[in-house]
Amino acid sequence: MSVEQAELTAPGPSALMSHVWGRCRDAAQLRPLPLEDVRTYARRLFHPTGAIRERSAREARAILASTLARATNHDPAELAACVQGGAVLQTGPHHRPALDDDYFPTLVMSSIGQAATRHALNIMFNCSSVTLEERARRGPGWLRMAGEPPTKVFATPRRMLAKRSMAVASEPLGLTDEFVETLTRFGTAPNSREPDAAREMIARSNREIITRTDADLGTTTLLFQEPLVTQMIIEHLETDSLLRRLLTDGRLSSLGAALHRLDGPLASFLPLGTDLFWAVSRGRVRPLRLRPERQLGNPETTWELNPASVVRGLQSGTLVPGLLLCFLVLSLLPVLRVIGGAYQIAYHQLFQEAFLDQLDESRSDERDLADAIREAVLVGWGHNVVAENPVARGFARDASAAYDRIGDESVFEASAGFAAFQNDVLWRQVAGAAEGDDGEC
């Protein structure tokens, strides 16, 4: 059955999804058949992309693997083989409690995919450059779980949650009794409640649930956030890498500026909260904007855009990489597929197109990299494919059975009729504006 035939036979509306796949050409190559089961889709989505001959991509993969190995104490040889073989990275959910409605379904989806491909390493980047409360009672400072009232995670006044950035807040925070009681009910309470930085407290509270997921599916989940991306960027900039070349000759600045000039329906999905990096000030990340003479600045600070200055800022913790830099070192430079949500499949495509425009294809190495990127599928939809939090399906009592039930469901059923797109105001606006045009970006 073709994709088009399957969509016609699927229950519910599919016109919006036709707009999605028409616009997001890269992700469309791995688009789910609505009637195929989640396990089959996950197997296609997470199938390793394979080794690559292009030198700078191999070097970028080596930096990713070695940095991750040092941070996780995982076997360096196994990680190198996994990443050089084209590991697929899950980059969908932000760093938050693992049982959260926005996190746990994606952890399960990613684990099912890696298990189905017999690719035992489940590598997940969880963005942490967000505040503890992103919206009212939503964000890393809250646990929203299967229809229950939101549970505050940290024992700090709620008015302070929106003023603390997960990536850089270092003051010790404790966990609320209510949060620990909820985790205890599911058999996943942390071994220690000793106060620590918010990012570390969430990581500590997640270990038990991650361990159980791995044991049930035979996977090993490796989680990381911006500090590891920072280490990767530093290594790129301290070696004769393509990223160093792009920063030195000004093309990285041109890439950041080009994103602001993009128009068309997908431009509304671009994460342009900052240009290239965030600046850290008083425990929060602050936007930086490109300025003339290869500088970044805001009213409080100015940074020179050269390798020495950027490395100094990253090492001191006063610079934090923005999403463009994260996806450069995790996906575009190493030519690796990343799996994300309804917005990521749109903005990753624009990142990719803008990056390709900056490559000098009169140089053989950059031409080879451009060809490798064009031949690959570097993004897929895998965040919020499972709409219902599996904790509502008896996960605490029988995890393996919950995984099997999810894996056997059709994508249409598991995603609640592609609710991540159908219920999103921005995607509905894009589809509405597209009526009568040709669907191109």
Tell me: the pLDDT tens digits for 198-255?
Answer: 999 999 999 888 988 888 888 899 999 999 999 999 999 999 999 999 999 999 999 9
- pLDDT over 60 (residue 1): no
**Residue 319, token pair as written in the block:** 């610079």
The sign of the dihedral angle between the CA atoms of 394, 400, 403, 409 is negative
CA distance 120 to 82: 9
**Residue 165, token pair as written in the block:** 């950035």
Side-chain-side CA neighbours of 418 within 13 Å: the count stands at 24
Query: Is residue 403 a contact partner of residue 112, using CB atoms and an 8 Å limit?
Result: yes
Q: CA angle, corner 93, sides to 422 and 230, nearest 5?
A: 140
Lowest pLDDT segment from 63-72, 256-265, 430-439: 430-439
Residue type, 143: L
Mean pLDDT, the chain, rounded, equals 91
pTM strictly above 0.85: yes
Q: CA angle, corner 166, sides to 152 and 378, nearest 5?
A: 115
Query: Is residue 106 a contact partner of residue 382, using CB atoms and an 8 Å limit?
Result: yes
**C-alpha closest to that of 87 among 53, 116, 64:** 64
Query: Is residue 234 a contact partner of residue 247, using CB atoms and an 8 Å limit?
Result: no
**For the chain, what's the residue count?**
441
Query: Is residue 216 a contact partner of residue 400, using CB atoms and an 8 Å limit?
Result: yes
Rg (CA), the chain: 21
Phi then psi for residue 378, to 5 deg, are -100, 5
In the block, which residue shows the tokens 């930086």?
A: 288
CA distance 207 to 198: 15
CA distance 215 to 348: 32
Helices (H), 120-197: 177-185
**Residue 110, token pair as written in the block:** 């990613």
Q: Which DSSP string corresponds to 196-226?
A: B-HHHHHHHHHHHHHHHHHHHHT-EEEEE-H
Instruction: Give 286: exposed, middle or buried? Use CB within 10 Å, 0-12, 13-18, 19+.
Output: middle
Phi then psi for residue 230, to 5 deg, are -55, -45
pLDDT at 11: 43
**C-alpha closest to that of 143 among 193, 204, 99:** 99
pLDDT at 10: 44
Q: Sheet of 89-90: strands edge to edge? A: 220-224, 121-125, 89-90, 338-340, 379-381
Tell me the average pLDDT across 43-60.
96
CA distance 319 to 303: 9
pLDDT at 392: 67
In the block, which residue shows the tokens 């918010």?
A: 198
E strand intervals along 343-425: 379-381
- Long-range pairs for 29-34: beta carbons < 8 A, 24 or more residues apart: 29/377, 30/377, 30/380, 30/381, 31/3, 31/381, 32/381, 32/385, 32/411, 33/1, 33/3, 33/6, 33/7, 33/411, 34/6, 34/7, 34/10, 34/410, 34/411, 34/412, 34/418
Lowest pLDDT segment from 257-261, 403-407, 425-429: 403-407
Query: Is residue 79 a contact partner of residue 125, using CB atoms and an 8 Å limit?
Result: no
Three-class DSSP category at 272? coil
Query: Is residue 48 a contact partner of residue 115, using CB atoms and an 8 Å limit?
Result: no
Helix axes 198-217, 399-408, angle to 10 degrees: 80
Side-chain-side CA neighbours of 205 within 13 Å: the count stands at 34
Lowest pLDDT segment from 112-116, 199-203, 243-247, 394-398: 394-398
Lowest pLDDT segment from 20-29, 31-40, 62-71, 215-224: 215-224
CA distance 318 to 192: 30
Tell me the average pLDDT across 370-395.
91
Q: What is the pLDDT of residues 138-195, one digit of tens each?
A: 999 999 988 789 999 999 899 888 888 888 888 899 999 999 999 888 888 888 888 9
Residue type, 162: A
